[in-house]
Structure 1
């Protein structure tokens, strides 16, 4: 029996990023707007997070920042749900949480695992190796979309994926050369552990994204807004983030360190951007799909490379290789979207 989110009328078509309505000009505008906002949000988040490490007089506890962002996202999710669907929809969302506990817990736990694996990868790998490995999530997202959503990827879109990976490697190799610090203490076993951690995180990211896309489209088939399921997910994300904070930084917190130590205006902005990102991703998964979400994130990485070149004042200019890589990433996005 076909899943409800795949049961569509004649005014819909199957896209490689999922089954979405495409004949409506409003839907196309929503897709473009969601992807544009995600690109801007992700770029700002990466740049401000890097800036927060430099400006903080006292190091903040990263896991508490993640938990704080989940709290803000929970509040915003229900505000948006009430605004779009009314108070009765908010009550329905809360009422259905226990019956959907298992399904809602899956993406929440996966994203917590992903965040911890990425921290481990950052610690063990060089910047170049970490960034190149992390971009494998684009391929895992495409595979999971095919398996979980039954979508079809054309030859043209496979070529776009290959072009994207090549472009990202070129950009990230350039960034890695600028930031890489040689270390005589690097051990082969640490490198292997780091690569396994990042590649596993890439798989969890692809699977969780496709899983959420499926859930959002099931809600769409029920004539619910995108905020309905997002509000339910936020109910699980917050406690999972709190558990992750205790698990990761419990010793520091028990040593009488303040939960909010090191928080300043920059860190608060990072929290706001992180929370907004969860809401924007929900809209992207609804209107565009998991694979196009990864393309938007890839473009944001190129934006970060450009911004770093302009504002770093470290004597480095954007190389021909990095410029070509950025052009390949942007071109692959248009190619995958069937614009060219």
Structure 2
């Protein structure tokens, strides 16, 4: 029983740390986007160049070619991820990080609803409660504007 309570405490601490770091990074990214004269596109290229410096040497060193083993589905997933990153940058630039988090929450709930109707996925009480919480959050956010 002791190990399970220690695991629970470690899990709660990890989730709390992730939430704090995620919030901090969102606020900092919003500040960086809105405090300079660079466009979203210039900022995305700048951020991508940092990633290339870190990941490109590893990818070349580990694999015989840069896109070794990539299937068409892998390309679709990579392009969707890139498109999502650009959308996030645009949302944060023209709105704020709160709107981005509300949109992300809606996307997660929409995914659960589509999973339920199309693939007979589970629609459990926590999913329903999360959806209700998101609706209340959106109402509170829009009524304070």
Given the two structures, how large is their TM-score scaled by the length of structure 2? 0.74
Gaps of 5+ in 1: 1-186
Write out per-residue CA displacement over residues 130-186 of structure 1, whole angstroms, 9 at most, x where no aligned residue: xxxxxxxxxxxxxxxxxxxxxxxxxxxxxxxxxxxxxxxxxxxxxxxxxxxxxxxxx
Show the counterpart of 1:215. 32
Query: How many equivalent pairs are there?
Result: 140
Q: Which moved more, 1:224-233 or 1:203-212?
A: 224-233
Runs of 4+ in 1 over 6 A off after TM superposition: none
Matches for 1:119-138 after TM superposition, within 5 Å: none
Aligned to 1:307: 114
What is aligned with 1:285? 92
**Paired position in structure 2 for 1:338:** 143
Alpha carbons of 1:199 and 1:328: their partners in 2 closer, same or farther (altered >3 Å)? closer
Distance in 1 (alpha carbons) for counterparts of 2:100 and 2:21: 15
Tell me by how many angstroms 1:283 deviates.
0.7
Which whole-Å CA distance do the structure 1 matches of 2:16 and 2:55 have between them? 22
Counterpart of 2:51 in structure 1 is: 237
Give the corresponding residue for 1:113: none
CA distance in 1 between partners of 2:10 and 2:124 (Å): 31
Higher RCO (CA-CA < 8 Å; seq separation 6+): 1
Q: CA deviation at 1:320?
A: 6.5
Q: Structure 1 336/227 Cα, relative in aligned 2: closer, same or farther at 3 Å?
A: same
Q: Which residue of the partner structure matches residue 227 of structure 1?
A: 41
TM-score (norm 1): 0.35
1:65-121 Cα shifts (integer Å, max 9, x gaps)? xxxxxxxxxxxxxxxxxxxxxxxxxxxxxxxxxxxxxxxxxxxxxxxxxxxxxxxxx
Residue in 2 that maps onto 1:272: 79
1:196 aligns with 2:3: no
By how many angstroms is 1:212 displaced? 1.1
Query: Relative to total residues, which structure has the larger helix share, 1 or 2?
Result: 2
- The residue number in structure 2 matching 1:135 is none
How far off its partner does 1:298 sit?
Answer: 0.8
Q: CA deviation at 1:301?
A: 1.1
Ranges in structure 2 where 5+ consecutive residues have no aligned partner: none
Structure 1 distance, partners of 2:140, 2:16, is 26
- Give the root-mean-square deviation of aligned CA atoms: 3.1
